[in-house]
Amino acid sequence: MLVLAFLTALPVQPASAALTPSQLAGVGATPPAGAAFPVGLSFVDQSGRPYRLSLGAMPTVLLFADYSCRHICGPGVTLTAGALHDAGLKSGVDYRMIVIGMDQDGPVLARRLAEERLKGLPAEAAGMELLTGTPPTVARAEQALGYHAIYDAEADQFAHDAAIYLFSPGGRLSALLPETASTAAQLKAAVAGARLDVAFIPTAPKSDTGLIGRVSAICYGLASAHGVYAGPIVLGLRLGGVLICVGLGLFVVTSLRRSRRANDAT
């Protein structure tokens, strides 16, 4: 029943024409050869203070996020921070975490995201920088890292990839991981590699046909764009949850009846 409750709580977005399949096909994270941390770009942090990107004394974990996203951006930040915590890594000691906001909603929504999504991770929340920049500044960061997001003006949302960039203290890109499918062990190994200045080696993209991969594709491809398929997808998930619960209920009832019959027979 918990599964059913979760699924029925998902908001069905109205079917509004937005991004086309060809536009969505361009969404992704494909770092160019020799990609490096975009030093020198100026932002403001979640407190409204100026923040200039610079190299640090420790590996950097960097995410892009839409602070007004109604789907996976918040959970993606939570999952990443939680996995780093579970790996035994300390913010400000073993790594630093930076989130670049793609939208112009600013520090207020950045703070809200941290307050709502990092309640159980106070150390990670305190050490995290959630940045807001001008469109040209954000575009320069995206271009430097091969990050391709598309803005849907009608829905005021971004279709974008859920990627974790890891940089060495010297700024070299060391690893690229998925937000929704990275374990504590994977992040711990990636942070260790970044500390050793291991270089990122691009590989041919692989289709993730597993459950996590499919759900991530739904959230970042169709639902995040609020296209005409968003409502039917969520409705399908709800119906699937209902069918699963009904099936489990029938199984329990049938098992109880068989047990009673067996007891009566003896």
Q: Select from 3.30.450.40, 3.40.470.10, 3.40.30.10, 3.40.50.300 the CATH code of 21-204.
A: 3.40.30.10
Q: Which pLDDT does position 230 carry in this prediction?
A: 40
Distance CA 131, CA 176 (A): 20
Nearest to 237 by CA among 71, 23, 80: 71
Using one digit for the tens of pLDDT, what is the confidence trace for 207-264?
444 444 433 434 434 443 333 334 444 445 445 555 566 666 666 666 666 666 666 6
Instruction: Supply the mean pLDDT for the chain.
Output: 79
Interval 101-111: pLDDT, tens: 998 889 999 99
Q: What is the pLDDT of residues 138-188, one digit of tens each?
A: 999 999 999 998 888 887 788 888 899 999 999 999 999 988 778 999 999
CB atoms within 10 A of CB 255: 10
Report which DSSP code applies to 52.
Answer: E
Please tell me the predicted confidence (pLDDT) of residue 265: 65
pTM of the model: 0.73
62/22: higher pLDDT: 62
Q: Average of pLDDT values for 118-147? A: 96
Residue 118 has which token pair?
Answer: 């990092």
pLDDT at 85: 97
Q: Which residues pair with 147 in a beta bridge?
A: 29
| CA atoms within 13 A of residue 255's CA, in its CB half-sphere | 6
**Residues 178-181: contacts with CB within 8 Å, 24+ apart?**
178/208, 178/216, 179/63, 179/72, 179/76, 179/77, 179/79, 179/80, 180/72, 180/75, 180/76, 180/79, 180/212, 180/215, 180/216, 180/219, 181/208, 181/210, 181/212, 181/213, 181/216
pLDDT at 256: 64
Please report the sign of the dihedral spanned by the C-alpha atoms of residue 173, residue 177, residue 183, residue 186.
negative
Q: In the numeric block, which tokens belong to residue 92?
A: 């400000």
In tens, the pLDDT along 38-91 reads 999 999 999 999 999 999 999 999 999 999 876 778 888 999 999 999 999 999
From the CB of residue 11, how many other CB atoms can be counted at a distance below 10 Å? 11
- Looking at residue 212, its pLDDT comes to 41
Cβ(48)–Cβ(70) below 8 Å? no
pLDDT at 204: 55
Residue 55 burial by Cβ neighbours in a 10 Å radius (0-12, 13-18, 19+): middle
> CA gyration radius for the chain?
21
Q: What is the pLDDT of residues 174-195, one digit of tens each?
A: 999 988 778 999 999 999 999 9
